[in-house]
A and B are shown apart, each in its own frame.
Chain A
Amino acid sequence: MDLELMINSFPKLLNAAVITLKLLSVSLIIGLFIGLFFAILRLNKNIFINRFAYGYSYVFRGTPLLVQIFIIYFGLGQIEYLRSTVLWVILKEPYWCAIIAFALNTGAYTSEILRSAFQTIKPGIIEAGKSLGISSKVIFYKIQIPIAIRQSLPAYGNEIILMMKGTSLASTVTIMDLTGVAKYIISTTFKPIEVFIVAGGIYLFMTFIIHNVIKFLEKKYSFN
Protein backbone atom coordinates (compact mmCIF):
# COMPACT_ATOMS: atom_id res chain seq x y z
CA MET A 1 0.00 0.00 0.00
CA ASP A 2 1.36 3.36 -1.04
CA LEU A 3 -0.09 5.66 1.60
CA GLU A 4 1.71 8.68 0.24
CA LEU A 5 0.05 8.24 -3.15
CA MET A 6 -3.35 7.94 -1.45
CA ILE A 7 -2.82 11.18 0.46
CA ASN A 8 -1.45 13.00 -2.60
CA SER A 9 -4.28 11.92 -4.87
CA PHE A 10 -7.01 12.80 -2.36
CA PRO A 11 -7.24 16.57 -3.13
CA LYS A 12 -7.18 15.92 -6.89
CA LEU A 13 -9.96 13.37 -6.56
CA LEU A 14 -11.94 15.67 -4.31
CA ASN A 15 -11.77 18.37 -6.98
CA ALA A 16 -12.99 15.86 -9.55
CA ALA A 17 -15.88 14.91 -7.24
CA VAL A 18 -17.20 18.46 -7.79
CA ILE A 19 -17.56 17.62 -11.51
CA THR A 20 -19.35 14.41 -10.57
CA LEU A 21 -21.77 16.35 -8.34
CA LYS A 22 -22.35 18.90 -11.09
CA LEU A 23 -23.18 16.16 -13.61
CA LEU A 24 -25.45 14.51 -11.04
CA SER A 25 -27.37 17.60 -9.98
CA VAL A 26 -27.92 19.01 -13.47
CA SER A 27 -29.11 15.68 -14.87
CA LEU A 28 -31.33 15.04 -11.83
CA ILE A 29 -33.05 18.41 -12.16
CA ILE A 30 -33.68 17.95 -15.89
CA GLY A 31 -34.59 14.30 -15.31
CA LEU A 32 -37.14 15.21 -12.65
CA PHE A 33 -39.04 17.44 -15.07
CA ILE A 34 -38.87 14.79 -17.80
CA GLY A 35 -40.01 12.18 -15.29
CA LEU A 36 -42.93 14.25 -14.05
CA PHE A 37 -44.00 15.04 -17.62
CA PHE A 38 -43.93 11.40 -18.69
CA ALA A 39 -45.58 10.19 -15.46
CA ILE A 40 -48.53 12.48 -16.23
CA LEU A 41 -48.62 11.15 -19.81
CA ARG A 42 -48.65 7.62 -18.41
CA LEU A 43 -51.79 8.45 -16.42
CA ASN A 44 -53.50 9.74 -19.55
CA LYS A 45 -56.40 7.60 -20.79
CA ASN A 46 -55.51 8.15 -24.47
CA ILE A 47 -53.87 4.90 -25.53
CA PHE A 48 -51.42 6.55 -27.96
CA ILE A 49 -50.13 9.05 -25.43
CA ASN A 50 -49.96 6.31 -22.82
CA ARG A 51 -48.09 3.90 -25.11
CA PHE A 52 -45.68 6.63 -26.20
CA ALA A 53 -44.74 7.39 -22.58
CA TYR A 54 -44.47 3.69 -21.81
CA GLY A 55 -42.26 3.18 -24.86
CA TYR A 56 -39.89 5.89 -23.69
CA SER A 57 -39.44 4.43 -20.23
CA TYR A 58 -39.24 0.90 -21.66
CA VAL A 59 -36.38 1.81 -24.01
CA PHE A 60 -34.35 3.81 -21.49
CA ARG A 61 -34.83 1.34 -18.63
CA GLY A 62 -34.21 -1.62 -20.90
CA THR A 63 -30.81 -0.61 -22.27
CA PRO A 64 -27.52 -0.07 -20.42
CA LEU A 65 -26.62 3.52 -19.56
CA LEU A 66 -23.20 3.00 -21.18
CA VAL A 67 -24.85 2.09 -24.49
CA GLN A 68 -27.06 5.19 -24.25
CA ILE A 69 -24.03 7.45 -23.71
CA PHE A 70 -22.17 5.85 -26.61
CA ILE A 71 -25.16 6.22 -28.95
CA ILE A 72 -25.57 9.88 -28.03
CA TYR A 73 -21.86 10.72 -28.04
CA PHE A 74 -20.25 8.55 -30.74
CA GLY A 75 -23.42 7.55 -32.59
CA LEU A 76 -24.93 10.98 -33.20
CA GLY A 77 -21.44 12.34 -33.96
CA GLN A 78 -21.33 10.09 -37.03
CA ILE A 79 -24.40 11.64 -38.66
CA GLU A 80 -23.02 14.20 -41.04
CA TYR A 81 -26.28 16.09 -41.43
CA LEU A 82 -26.46 16.67 -37.68
CA ARG A 83 -23.04 18.27 -37.65
CA SER A 84 -24.24 21.12 -39.83
CA THR A 85 -27.22 21.94 -37.57
CA VAL A 86 -27.43 24.10 -34.46
CA LEU A 87 -27.77 20.93 -32.38
CA TRP A 88 -24.08 20.23 -32.96
CA VAL A 89 -23.15 23.16 -30.69
CA ILE A 90 -24.51 21.08 -27.80
CA LEU A 91 -23.66 17.60 -29.09
CA LYS A 92 -20.08 18.61 -29.81
CA GLU A 93 -19.41 18.92 -26.09
CA PRO A 94 -18.86 15.67 -24.18
CA TYR A 95 -20.30 17.31 -21.05
CA TRP A 96 -23.71 17.97 -22.63
CA CYS A 97 -23.83 14.56 -24.28
CA ALA A 98 -23.37 12.99 -20.87
CA ILE A 99 -26.01 15.26 -19.33
CA ILE A 100 -28.52 14.37 -22.08
CA ALA A 101 -27.91 10.65 -21.60
CA PHE A 102 -28.11 10.84 -17.80
CA ALA A 103 -31.22 13.05 -17.81
CA LEU A 104 -33.09 10.81 -20.27
CA ASN A 105 -32.10 7.75 -18.28
CA THR A 106 -33.04 9.05 -14.86
CA GLY A 107 -36.16 10.63 -16.41
CA ALA A 108 -37.38 7.18 -17.46
CA TYR A 109 -36.91 5.74 -13.98
CA THR A 110 -38.37 8.82 -12.31
CA SER A 111 -41.49 8.64 -14.50
CA GLU A 112 -42.10 5.07 -13.32
CA ILE A 113 -41.49 6.00 -9.68
CA LEU A 114 -43.88 8.94 -9.88
CA ARG A 115 -46.50 7.00 -11.83
CA SER A 116 -46.68 4.29 -9.20
CA ALA A 117 -46.76 6.98 -6.52
CA PHE A 118 -49.75 8.65 -8.22
CA GLN A 119 -51.51 5.34 -8.40
CA THR A 120 -51.10 4.68 -4.69
CA ILE A 121 -53.04 7.84 -3.80
CA LYS A 122 -56.30 6.67 -2.27
CA PRO A 123 -59.38 7.74 -4.27
CA GLY A 124 -60.91 8.92 -0.97
CA ILE A 125 -58.45 11.79 -0.78
CA ILE A 126 -59.41 13.07 -4.23
CA GLU A 127 -63.10 12.57 -3.48
CA ALA A 128 -62.70 14.52 -0.25
CA GLY A 129 -61.24 17.40 -2.27
CA LYS A 130 -64.07 17.24 -4.78
CA SER A 131 -66.73 17.23 -2.07
CA LEU A 132 -65.19 20.45 -0.73
CA GLY A 133 -65.73 21.99 -4.16
CA ILE A 134 -62.04 22.23 -5.11
CA SER A 135 -61.40 22.13 -8.86
CA SER A 136 -59.65 19.05 -10.22
CA LYS A 137 -56.72 21.19 -11.40
CA VAL A 138 -56.08 22.44 -7.90
CA ILE A 139 -56.56 18.93 -6.52
CA PHE A 140 -53.90 17.70 -8.94
CA TYR A 141 -51.31 20.39 -8.20
CA LYS A 142 -51.99 20.92 -4.50
CA ILE A 143 -52.94 17.43 -3.36
CA GLN A 144 -51.93 14.72 -5.81
CA ILE A 145 -48.43 16.00 -6.74
CA PRO A 146 -47.29 16.68 -3.13
CA ILE A 147 -48.55 13.29 -1.97
CA ALA A 148 -46.95 11.55 -4.96
CA ILE A 149 -43.62 13.23 -4.25
CA ARG A 150 -43.75 12.17 -0.61
CA GLN A 151 -44.71 8.62 -1.57
CA SER A 152 -41.86 8.35 -4.05
CA LEU A 153 -39.12 9.67 -1.71
CA PRO A 154 -37.67 6.27 -0.70
CA ALA A 155 -37.59 4.98 -4.27
CA TYR A 156 -36.32 8.29 -5.60
CA GLY A 157 -33.53 8.32 -3.01
CA ASN A 158 -32.40 5.00 -4.43
CA GLU A 159 -32.53 6.45 -7.93
CA ILE A 160 -30.31 9.40 -6.90
CA ILE A 161 -27.72 7.01 -5.48
CA LEU A 162 -27.85 4.80 -8.58
CA MET A 163 -27.47 7.87 -10.79
CA MET A 164 -24.55 9.15 -8.72
CA LYS A 165 -22.75 5.89 -9.40
CA GLY A 166 -23.89 6.03 -13.02
CA THR A 167 -22.09 9.34 -13.56
CA SER A 168 -18.81 7.41 -13.42
CA LEU A 169 -19.59 6.42 -17.02
CA ALA A 170 -18.99 10.05 -18.04
CA SER A 171 -15.30 9.19 -17.95
CA THR A 172 -15.81 7.02 -21.03
CA VAL A 173 -16.54 10.12 -23.11
CA THR A 174 -13.41 12.01 -22.00
CA ILE A 175 -14.97 13.85 -19.04
CA MET A 176 -12.60 14.19 -16.11
CA ASP A 177 -15.03 13.29 -13.33
CA LEU A 178 -14.05 11.38 -10.18
CA THR A 179 -13.54 8.12 -12.08
CA GLY A 180 -11.85 9.90 -14.97
CA VAL A 181 -9.27 11.55 -12.74
CA ALA A 182 -8.75 8.29 -10.82
CA LYS A 183 -7.97 6.53 -14.10
CA TYR A 184 -5.68 9.37 -15.10
CA ILE A 185 -3.67 9.12 -11.87
CA ILE A 186 -3.44 5.34 -12.34
CA SER A 187 -2.16 5.80 -15.88
CA THR A 188 0.91 7.59 -14.56
CA THR A 189 1.45 5.69 -11.28
CA PHE A 190 0.27 2.19 -12.32
CA LYS A 191 -1.22 1.67 -8.86
CA PRO A 192 -4.96 1.06 -9.30
CA ILE A 193 -5.75 -0.31 -5.83
CA GLU A 194 -4.67 2.74 -3.83
CA VAL A 195 -6.33 5.26 -6.15
CA PHE A 196 -9.59 3.36 -6.56
CA ILE A 197 -9.85 2.88 -2.78
CA VAL A 198 -9.68 6.66 -2.29
CA ALA A 199 -12.12 7.27 -5.17
CA GLY A 200 -14.46 4.58 -3.82
CA GLY A 201 -14.29 6.18 -0.39
CA ILE A 202 -15.37 9.52 -1.82
CA TYR A 203 -18.29 7.88 -3.67
CA LEU A 204 -19.26 6.13 -0.44
CA PHE A 205 -19.21 9.40 1.45
CA MET A 206 -21.46 11.04 -1.15
CA THR A 207 -23.88 8.10 -0.88
CA PHE A 208 -23.86 8.54 2.89
CA ILE A 209 -24.85 12.21 2.57
CA ILE A 210 -27.58 11.57 -0.02
CA HIS A 211 -28.97 8.69 2.02
CA ASN A 212 -29.23 10.80 5.15
CA VAL A 213 -30.77 13.80 3.40
CA ILE A 214 -33.49 11.56 1.96
CA LYS A 215 -34.03 9.93 5.36
CA PHE A 216 -34.41 13.37 6.94
CA LEU A 217 -36.93 14.42 4.28
CA GLU A 218 -38.87 11.20 4.72
CA LYS A 219 -39.16 11.86 8.45
CA LYS A 220 -40.03 15.51 8.00
CA TYR A 221 -42.84 14.81 5.56
CA SER A 222 -44.12 11.61 7.10
CA PHE A 223 -47.88 11.33 7.48
CA ASN A 224 -47.78 10.36 11.14
Chain B
Amino acid sequence: MMNKFKKIIFSVLFSLLIIGNVNADKIKIGTEGAYPPWNSKDASGKLIGFEVELAYTLCRYIGQQCEIVEQDWDGMIPALIMRKFDAIMAGMSITAERQKAISFSQGYADEVASLAVMKGSDLEGMDTPEGINLTLGGSGVKKTLKTLTGALAGKTVCTQTATIHQNFLESGDVGKINLRTYKTQDEVNLDLASGRCDVALAAAVAFTDYAEKSGKPVVLVGPTFSGGAFGNGVGVGIRKDDTELLKAFNKAIEKARKNGDISRIATKWFGFDASM
Protein backbone atom coordinates (compact mmCIF):
# COMPACT_ATOMS: atom_id res chain seq x y z
CA MET B 1 0.00 0.00 0.00
CA MET B 2 2.74 2.38 1.08
CA ASN B 3 4.72 1.49 -2.01
CA LYS B 4 1.85 2.37 -4.31
CA PHE B 5 1.42 5.67 -2.53
CA LYS B 6 5.10 6.46 -2.92
CA LYS B 7 4.91 5.62 -6.61
CA ILE B 8 2.05 8.02 -7.15
CA ILE B 9 3.80 10.83 -5.31
CA PHE B 10 7.00 10.17 -7.18
CA SER B 11 5.35 10.15 -10.61
CA VAL B 12 3.47 13.35 -9.85
CA LEU B 13 6.66 15.09 -8.77
CA PHE B 14 8.48 13.73 -11.81
CA SER B 15 5.84 15.00 -14.23
CA LEU B 16 5.98 18.42 -12.56
CA LEU B 17 9.72 18.40 -13.13
CA ILE B 18 9.20 17.69 -16.83
CA ILE B 19 6.59 20.44 -17.15
CA GLY B 20 8.98 22.80 -15.42
CA ASN B 21 11.73 21.93 -17.83
CA VAL B 22 9.67 22.62 -20.92
CA ASN B 23 9.75 26.30 -20.01
CA ALA B 24 13.39 26.32 -19.05
CA ASP B 25 14.80 27.56 -22.37
CA LYS B 26 12.33 30.42 -22.64
CA ILE B 27 13.54 33.88 -21.65
CA LYS B 28 11.30 35.19 -18.91
CA ILE B 29 10.75 38.95 -18.96
CA GLY B 30 9.25 40.78 -16.00
CA THR B 31 7.01 43.80 -16.45
CA GLU B 32 4.65 45.76 -14.23
CA GLY B 33 1.55 45.91 -16.38
CA ALA B 34 0.38 49.12 -14.72
CA TYR B 35 2.31 51.95 -16.36
CA PRO B 36 0.62 52.82 -19.64
CA PRO B 37 1.65 53.37 -22.34
CA TRP B 38 4.92 51.63 -21.43
CA ASN B 39 3.21 48.49 -20.19
CA SER B 40 -0.33 47.82 -19.04
CA LYS B 41 -3.19 45.37 -19.32
CA ASP B 42 -6.23 45.36 -21.56
CA ALA B 43 -9.76 44.69 -20.34
CA SER B 44 -9.26 40.92 -20.50
CA GLY B 45 -6.12 41.10 -18.35
CA LYS B 46 -3.68 40.49 -21.23
CA LEU B 47 -0.39 42.38 -20.99
CA ILE B 48 -0.09 45.05 -23.67
CA GLY B 49 1.94 48.20 -24.30
CA PHE B 50 5.12 49.45 -25.89
CA GLU B 51 7.44 47.19 -23.95
CA VAL B 52 5.34 44.06 -24.34
CA GLU B 53 5.38 44.43 -28.11
CA LEU B 54 9.07 45.40 -28.11
CA ALA B 55 9.95 42.40 -25.91
CA TYR B 56 8.50 39.94 -28.44
CA THR B 57 10.32 41.77 -31.24
CA LEU B 58 13.66 41.62 -29.40
CA CYS B 59 13.15 37.92 -28.65
CA ARG B 60 12.61 37.26 -32.33
CA TYR B 61 16.00 38.89 -33.01
CA ILE B 62 17.61 36.86 -30.22
CA GLY B 63 16.01 33.76 -31.70
CA GLN B 64 14.50 32.44 -28.50
CA GLN B 65 10.99 32.13 -27.17
CA CYS B 66 9.88 34.60 -24.54
CA GLU B 67 7.39 34.61 -21.76
CA ILE B 68 6.28 37.88 -20.18
CA VAL B 69 5.44 37.73 -16.50
CA GLU B 70 3.85 40.29 -14.26
CA GLN B 71 5.55 41.64 -11.16
CA ASP B 72 4.70 44.49 -8.79
CA TRP B 73 6.94 47.46 -9.34
CA ASP B 74 8.38 47.69 -5.82
CA GLY B 75 9.61 44.08 -5.97
CA MET B 76 10.93 44.21 -9.53
CA ILE B 77 14.70 44.21 -8.93
CA PRO B 78 14.61 41.74 -5.99
CA ALA B 79 12.50 39.38 -8.14
CA LEU B 80 15.08 39.57 -10.95
CA ILE B 81 17.91 38.84 -8.53
CA MET B 82 15.96 35.90 -7.08
CA ARG B 83 15.56 34.46 -10.61
CA LYS B 84 11.80 34.75 -10.87
CA PHE B 85 12.56 36.04 -14.37
CA ASP B 86 15.64 36.83 -16.45
CA ALA B 87 15.10 40.38 -17.66
CA ILE B 88 13.18 43.53 -16.71
CA MET B 89 11.36 45.60 -19.30
CA ALA B 90 9.18 47.87 -17.22
CA GLY B 91 9.95 51.47 -18.11
CA MET B 92 12.94 51.17 -15.79
CA SER B 93 15.39 54.03 -16.24
CA ILE B 94 19.09 53.33 -16.11
CA THR B 95 20.42 54.94 -12.91
CA ALA B 96 23.68 54.63 -11.00
CA GLU B 97 21.78 53.44 -7.92
CA ARG B 98 20.14 50.53 -9.76
CA GLN B 99 23.38 49.68 -11.54
CA LYS B 100 24.87 48.79 -8.17
CA ALA B 101 22.42 45.87 -8.05
CA ILE B 102 21.84 44.87 -11.70
CA SER B 103 23.18 45.50 -15.21
CA PHE B 104 21.36 47.36 -17.94
CA SER B 105 21.38 46.92 -21.68
CA GLN B 106 21.80 50.01 -23.81
CA GLY B 107 18.76 52.26 -23.60
CA TYR B 108 15.90 51.56 -26.00
CA ALA B 109 13.64 54.50 -25.22
CA ASP B 110 13.62 57.74 -23.32
CA GLU B 111 10.91 60.07 -22.31
CA VAL B 112 10.69 63.08 -20.04
CA ALA B 113 9.13 63.43 -16.59
CA SER B 114 6.73 66.18 -15.64
CA LEU B 115 4.70 67.54 -12.75
CA ALA B 116 0.93 67.42 -13.03
CA VAL B 117 -1.93 69.14 -11.20
CA MET B 118 -5.70 69.30 -11.51
CA LYS B 119 -7.05 72.20 -13.54
CA GLY B 120 -7.56 75.27 -11.37
CA SER B 121 -4.55 74.61 -9.14
CA ASP B 122 -2.53 77.63 -8.07
CA LEU B 123 0.55 75.93 -9.49
CA GLU B 124 -0.72 76.43 -13.01
CA GLY B 125 1.15 78.97 -15.07
CA MET B 126 4.48 78.58 -13.28
CA ASP B 127 7.17 80.68 -14.90
CA THR B 128 9.72 78.07 -16.00
CA PRO B 129 11.44 77.03 -19.22
CA GLU B 130 9.88 74.21 -21.22
CA GLY B 131 12.39 71.62 -20.13
CA ILE B 132 15.50 71.27 -18.01
CA ASN B 133 18.34 68.76 -18.19
CA LEU B 134 19.83 68.20 -14.75
CA THR B 135 23.04 66.69 -16.16
CA LEU B 136 23.80 69.81 -18.18
CA GLY B 137 23.14 72.11 -15.23
CA GLY B 138 23.84 75.83 -15.60
CA SER B 139 22.25 78.96 -14.24
CA GLY B 140 18.93 78.32 -16.05
CA VAL B 141 18.50 74.97 -14.31
CA LYS B 142 19.41 76.47 -10.93
CA LYS B 143 16.91 79.26 -11.36
CA THR B 144 14.18 76.82 -12.38
CA LEU B 145 14.83 74.58 -9.38
CA LYS B 146 14.62 77.64 -7.16
CA THR B 147 11.26 78.59 -8.67
CA LEU B 148 10.06 75.01 -8.10
CA THR B 149 11.33 74.98 -4.51
CA GLY B 150 9.23 78.05 -3.80
CA ALA B 151 6.16 76.71 -5.57
CA LEU B 152 6.24 73.26 -3.99
CA ALA B 153 6.91 74.40 -0.41
CA GLY B 154 4.19 73.03 1.89
CA LYS B 155 2.52 71.12 -0.95
CA THR B 156 1.75 67.40 -0.84
CA VAL B 157 3.71 65.90 -3.73
CA CYS B 158 2.82 62.35 -4.79
CA THR B 159 4.78 59.82 -6.81
CA GLN B 160 5.20 56.09 -7.31
CA THR B 161 7.56 54.38 -4.90
CA ALA B 162 11.10 53.33 -5.91
CA THR B 163 11.14 55.45 -9.05
CA ILE B 164 13.51 58.06 -10.49
CA HIS B 165 10.79 60.55 -9.64
CA GLN B 166 11.00 59.67 -5.96
CA ASN B 167 14.80 59.89 -6.12
CA PHE B 168 14.57 63.39 -7.57
CA LEU B 169 12.02 64.61 -5.02
CA GLU B 170 14.22 63.27 -2.20
CA SER B 171 17.44 64.69 -3.63
CA GLY B 172 16.80 68.08 -2.04
CA ASP B 173 16.84 69.83 -5.42
CA VAL B 174 13.35 71.17 -4.73
CA GLY B 175 13.82 71.67 -0.99
CA LYS B 176 11.79 70.01 1.72
CA ILE B 177 8.39 68.86 0.51
CA ASN B 178 5.60 66.74 1.90
CA LEU B 179 6.25 63.58 -0.14
CA ARG B 180 3.79 60.68 -0.44
CA THR B 181 4.68 57.50 -2.28
CA TYR B 182 2.29 54.97 -3.81
CA LYS B 183 2.62 51.37 -4.94
CA THR B 184 1.30 52.06 -8.45
CA GLN B 185 0.87 55.03 -10.79
CA ASP B 186 -2.89 54.30 -10.87
CA GLU B 187 -3.09 55.13 -7.18
CA VAL B 188 -1.11 58.34 -7.70
CA ASN B 189 -3.59 59.35 -10.42
CA LEU B 190 -6.58 58.54 -8.16
CA ASP B 191 -5.28 60.66 -5.31
CA LEU B 192 -4.32 63.50 -7.63
CA ALA B 193 -7.89 63.53 -8.93
CA SER B 194 -9.38 63.29 -5.42
CA GLY B 195 -7.34 66.26 -4.22
CA ARG B 196 -5.29 64.40 -1.61
CA CYS B 197 -2.24 65.27 -3.70
CA ASP B 198 -1.60 68.87 -4.63
CA VAL B 199 0.79 67.86 -7.36
CA ALA B 200 2.25 64.62 -8.74
CA LEU B 201 5.45 63.68 -10.57
CA ALA B 202 5.78 60.89 -13.16
CA ALA B 203 6.53 60.30 -16.82
CA ALA B 204 4.66 62.97 -18.74
CA VAL B 205 2.89 60.35 -20.86
CA ALA B 206 1.57 58.60 -17.74
CA PHE B 207 -0.48 61.73 -16.98
CA THR B 208 -1.58 62.48 -20.54
CA ASP B 209 -2.64 58.84 -20.91
CA TYR B 210 -4.66 59.04 -17.69
CA ALA B 211 -6.23 62.39 -18.63
CA GLU B 212 -7.25 60.99 -22.00
CA LYS B 213 -8.72 57.73 -20.68
CA SER B 214 -10.44 59.07 -17.56
CA GLY B 215 -11.54 62.43 -18.94
CA LYS B 216 -10.26 64.08 -15.73
CA PRO B 217 -8.82 67.61 -16.10
CA VAL B 218 -5.20 66.69 -15.35
CA VAL B 219 -2.73 69.25 -16.70
CA LEU B 220 1.05 69.24 -16.91
CA VAL B 221 2.83 72.14 -15.19
CA GLY B 222 6.39 73.37 -14.87
CA PRO B 223 9.32 72.15 -16.94
CA THR B 224 9.90 68.64 -18.23
CA PHE B 225 12.80 66.90 -16.51
CA SER B 226 15.67 64.80 -17.85
CA GLY B 227 19.21 63.87 -16.86
CA GLY B 228 20.60 63.74 -13.32
CA ALA B 229 18.37 61.72 -11.01
CA PHE B 230 16.16 60.95 -14.01
CA GLY B 231 18.76 58.56 -15.42
CA ASN B 232 19.91 57.82 -18.92
CA GLY B 233 16.95 56.39 -20.72
CA VAL B 234 15.12 53.12 -20.23
CA GLY B 235 16.97 49.83 -20.72
CA VAL B 236 16.57 46.11 -20.16
CA GLY B 237 17.54 45.13 -16.60
CA ILE B 238 19.56 41.93 -16.38
CA ARG B 239 21.33 40.07 -13.56
CA LYS B 240 25.00 41.00 -13.23
CA ASP B 241 26.25 37.44 -13.79
CA ASP B 242 24.09 36.95 -16.89
CA THR B 243 26.59 38.49 -19.33
CA GLU B 244 25.53 36.24 -22.24
CA LEU B 245 21.92 37.43 -22.06
CA LEU B 246 23.07 41.05 -21.75
CA LYS B 247 25.10 40.70 -24.95
CA ALA B 248 22.16 39.07 -26.72
CA PHE B 249 19.80 41.89 -25.72
CA ASN B 250 22.29 44.58 -26.72
CA LYS B 251 22.66 43.00 -30.15
CA ALA B 252 18.91 42.64 -30.56
CA ILE B 253 18.29 46.27 -29.58
CA GLU B 254 20.96 47.36 -32.07
CA LYS B 255 19.27 45.41 -34.85
CA ALA B 256 15.76 46.51 -33.94
CA ARG B 257 16.89 50.14 -33.92
CA LYS B 258 18.56 49.86 -37.33
CA ASN B 259 15.50 48.24 -38.84
CA GLY B 260 13.29 50.97 -37.42
CA ASP B 261 11.30 48.57 -35.24
CA ILE B 262 11.75 50.52 -32.01
CA SER B 263 10.70 53.82 -33.62
CA ARG B 264 7.67 52.19 -35.19
CA ILE B 265 6.47 50.52 -31.99
CA ALA B 266 7.18 53.63 -29.90
CA THR B 267 5.23 55.87 -32.25
CA LYS B 268 2.33 53.43 -32.16
CA TRP B 269 2.06 53.50 -28.34
CA PHE B 270 3.31 56.98 -27.36
CA GLY B 271 2.06 58.97 -30.29
CA PHE B 272 5.61 60.23 -30.84
CA ASP B 273 9.00 58.61 -31.38
CA ALA B 274 10.35 57.92 -27.90
CA SER B 275 13.05 55.51 -29.10
CA MET B 276 16.74 56.15 -28.44
Taking Cβ atoms with an 8 Å cutoff, the residues of A that contact B are 74, 77-78, 83, 92, 94, 172, 174, 183-184, 186-188, 190-192
Contact = CB atoms under 8 A, between A and B. Distances in A.
Interface string B96-120: 0110011000000000000000000
Contact of A78 (B101, B161, B166, B190): B190
A199 to B, nearest CB: 14
Contact of B180 (A83, A174, A183, A187): A174
Contact of B190 (A74, A183, A186): A74
Nearest to A88: B195
B75 to A, nearest CB: 7
A172 B191 CA distance: 13
Given A174-B181, A188-B162, A190-B81, A183 B74 contact: yes
**What is the interface of chain A mostly: helix, strand, loop, or mixed?**
helix
Give the interface size bracket for B toward A.
Answer: 20 to 34
A190 B101 contact: yes
Interface in B175-221: 180-183, 187, 190-191, 193-196
A184 B194 CA distance: 24
B194 A83 contact: yes
Contacts of B181: 174, 184
Interface of B: 74-75, 77-78, 81, 97-98, 101-102, 158, 161-162, 166, 180-183, 187, 190-191, 193-196
B219 to A, nearest CB: 18
Contact of B78 (A77, A78, A83, A191): A191
Given A172-B183, A174-B181, A184-B181, A190 B191 contact: no
B161 A184 contact: yes
Nearest to A183: B74
Contact of B77 (A77, A83, A190): A190
Contacts of B97: 188
Nearest to A192: B78
Contacts, number: 43
19 contacts: A77-B196, A78-B193, A78-B194, A83-B194, A92-B195, A92-B196, A94-B180, A94-B196, A172-B183, A174-B181, A183-B74, A184-B161, A187-B74, A187-B162, A188-B97, A188-B162, A190-B77, A192-B75, A192-B78
Contacts of B180: 94, 174
B161 A83 contact: no
Contacts of A174: 158, 180-182
A186 B161 CA distance: 11
B10 to A, nearest CB: 32
Contact of A77 (B74, B102, B190): B190
A222 B194 CA distance: 51
* A-B pairs, 10 with minimum CB distance: A187-B162, A77-B194, A190-B101, A190-B77, A174-B180, A192-B78, A74-B190, A190-B78, A92-B196, A187-B161
Contacts of B191: 74, 77
Nearest to B78: A192
Contacts of B98: 190
Contacts of A186: 74, 78
Contacts of B101: 190
A117 to B, nearest CB: 39
A78 B195 CA distance: 10
Contacts of B183: 172
A183 B193 CA distance: 25
Contact of A83 (B74, B102, B190, B195): B195
A153 B194 CA distance: 41
Contacts of A188: 97, 162
Contacts of B166: 187
Given A78-B190, A187-B162, 20 more contacts: A74-B191, A74-B194, A77-B191, A83-B194, A94-B196, A174-B158, A174-B180, A174-B181, A174-B182, A183-B74, A184-B181, A186-B78, A187-B74, A187-B161, A187-B166, A190-B77, A190-B98, A190-B101, A191-B78, A192-B78
Contacts of A94: 180, 196
